[in-house]
Structure 1
Amino acid sequence: MDNQMLKERLAGAFVALITPFTAADDVDHVALGRNAAWMLARGLDGILLLGSTGEQVHLSEFERALVLDVGRQHIAADRIMIAGTGLSGTRQTIEETKQAGRAGADVALVVTPSYYQKAMNAANLVNHYRAVADASPIPIMLYSVPPIINVTLPAEAVAALVEHPNIIGMKNSGGDPQVAGLYREAAADHDFIILGGSAHAAPGFLLTGLVDGVILAAANVLPEAAATLVQAARAGDIAAVRRAGELLRRVSETVGRHGIAGWKAGLAARGQVGGPARLPLRNLNDSERQQVATWTNELVGAL
């Protein structure tokens, strides 16, 4: 797929899919395939595997490769498979991105390195991303997720990186409209896709053109609402954007308050397999799982 076609197809709705584990704490590859197929049947344009919600940081190299291989088997060629490949170092990230290419990923999503936070200035981040993009066999997207890693990708770094032919876009999981505006301004003269990662900010960002599509954790529970949100924004249907946005906001404030364990329980309430989250994340008790199921059923009824 050429980059222009890929960019057009990236301007859509994606789920940041959880990684299901068995009771023995192994990757549940059967459930992963079923979950992926179920998501795509509900109108999503593709799937992000090994993102923050996919517990990438909790998986071994072998497990990450397994997730991508299984994912590609169940994500049809007419849908986009995005692979989270960002690791702490540039060399490791390059190798991870090459592996994603071998597994058949369409694009790599590369989170900003964060271990040495004080050193993650614009110049160092530009050097990192250029090195990864130069070596990557597939296009890459930048990924700024300050709520989790406490590093915000500077707009000046984006401005320097949009020129690279193998960097085709970014995911902005922040909710600050000023920062989102600076990203759009940095990419104003380029065909550069920006995807939103905040369910709260997504409706406004879509309607004002600050993002072109979304990759949402909330889509684990309400994939239909995520798909409708983007479709309605594209059609200029403000009322439908507001309705879908309200459902995504509500699922984020209820199910999402429990983090990854909550998303997994919400997906289980939809009849799919979530499984446990890995330590040190806390799993839900029976009462919390029942509450998540109640919230999920109420929200599904409002679709």
Structure 2
Amino acid sequence: MEAVPSDVAYNRDLILSLLRANSSADSFIQPVMMTTARISQNANSAKCLLPLYEEIVGRGAAIGEAHLAIADCYKRGHGAPHDPEKALYHIREAISLDHEPAKWFYGHWLLNNDGLSGKLAVDAEAALKIFRELANSGKDPSTVSLAAADAIKLIIAGKTAQNSSSAELADIDRFCMRTDWLRGMSFSLARFYSDGIESKDFNGPEFSKARKFLVDGLNSGREDERQKCMSLLEKWNALPTETKLTTFSDLTLTEKTTLASIPIILAFWSIVGLSLLALVTAISAWAALVIACVAAAIWVIRLFKR
């Protein structure tokens, strides 16, 4: 057997021992979760673990992650013979187990069916439906974020805000709140909201959303995205102005005097507060002494009356 990373070898041996012991399905979840990334990255790891994964699910273990890993290997011919039918079978099994990453992958297979040899037709509408459902009601944060970004891309493709329905615009607003990938499509969103507007007042309210996305795109991790956003903002003469930090030397004489007097004012009122506290404490001590003397006198008077 070809060499595999030590962690893969450890989990392979663990899975083998669990299979020999006829362990419960739940026993396989952790070693599967620990090795799926390795299968995707390394063909030797895939060759080593894929037969074990197939035996696990063949015994009825409902582990969506295992089905998805098997599907990916057969689709790509990665560590296994290329087999579109097996790929589709296993990804649909994962989906039947409500495995959200599998749903997201299937959505992308519907957009790009390379490796499926015509067994799955391209269907952007069906893909959008999957992404919408994940973005609206998914439970896995990473999958929700990815699906929301994909849904936005499909909704705005070839459209503008001017010819989109109110439902589509509401979806975009909602999905923008649910994805961490906006900066990678800031320019596309800016064009979506600005194209078709007749006004040329690029600093006006009609362009406010477009400007917001362009400014946000200036912080994108992609250089090409930053450059496109910068170029359009320059064309619109709408580049954000830098906010200058105010220093002490920038203040007026009155402001400097007021600022300098704050420590003196604080010190003064601290002294006043401490003095009042001392006075109250002294008065309390004398009052306690007077009360004690009065009580003693009353006791003596009552004693003589007897």
TM-score of the pair, normalised by structure 1: 0.27
Structure number with the bigger relative contact order (C-alpha 8 A, sep ≥ 6) is 1
Please identify which structure carries the higher strand content.
1
TM-score of the pair, normalised by structure 2: 0.27
Looking at CA atoms only, which structure, 1 or 2, has the larger radius of gyration? 2
